[in-house]
Amino acid sequence: MLASLRPAILVSVIFFVLLGLAYPYAETGIAQGIFSGAANGSLTRNGSTQVGQAWKGTRWFQGRPDADDPMATGASNLGPRSKVLVQDTRKVMAALRKEGITPTADLVTTSGSGVDPDISPADAYAQVNAVARARGLSAGVVRHLVATQVQSPQLGFLGSSYVNVLRLNEALARVR
C-alpha cells in the first residue's frame, strides 16, 4: 500500500513546490521588477490612482458621483426608468449648476464598478472655470493644467482619452 502511495505523494510535493511556491514567487518578482507601481496599487500620497477619490468643494476637480465611497463597489442596478435614478441625477445636476459647472454625462452618472478614477477630458474642461474661480487662478492656467493631464488611448487606438482625477488634483495642489 505504501509503495503505491509514494508516487502520488512525491508528485503532490513536486507540484506544490513548483506551482504553489516557485511560480507565484517568480510572477511576483517579475511584477515587482517590471510593473512595480501597478503591482503595489498605483499609490500616491493621496490614495490609489486606480480608485476614485472623494473631493469636496469647487477648489478641486470632481470625479464621477460614485467616487464618494470607494468601499461601495458595484453599480446601483437602477435602470433608465427608475424614478430614484432620475431624482438622484437631477440632484447632482442641480448641485453642479450651483457650482457653475455645466453637467456632463460622466459627472452625473455612476460607473459600473462604482470606483472609476477617470473622467473624460470634456468633463474636466467643464469644471475649469469653477475651479479657477474658487482658487483665484486664471482659467487659462487651469485649462493648461488639464491639458497636461489628458492621457491618450492605449497604443493610440484602444479606448478613449481620459483624465485621472487624483493625478489632476495633485497637480492642481502644486500650482501656486
State if pTM tops 0.85: no
Per-residue pLDDT, 18: 95
Answer with the residue of higher pLDDT: 114 or 4: 4
Q: Band of the pLDDT at 46, cuts 50, 70, 90?
A: confident
For residue 111, is pLDDT > 70?
yes
Answer with the residue of higher pLDDT: 66 or 159: 159
Domain ranges of the chain: 1-40, 42-174
Rounded mean pLDDT, 36-61: 78
Query: Which neighbouring-strand residues pair with 154?
Result: 158
| Per-residue pLDDT tens over the stretch 69-90 | 555 566 667 788 889 888 988 9
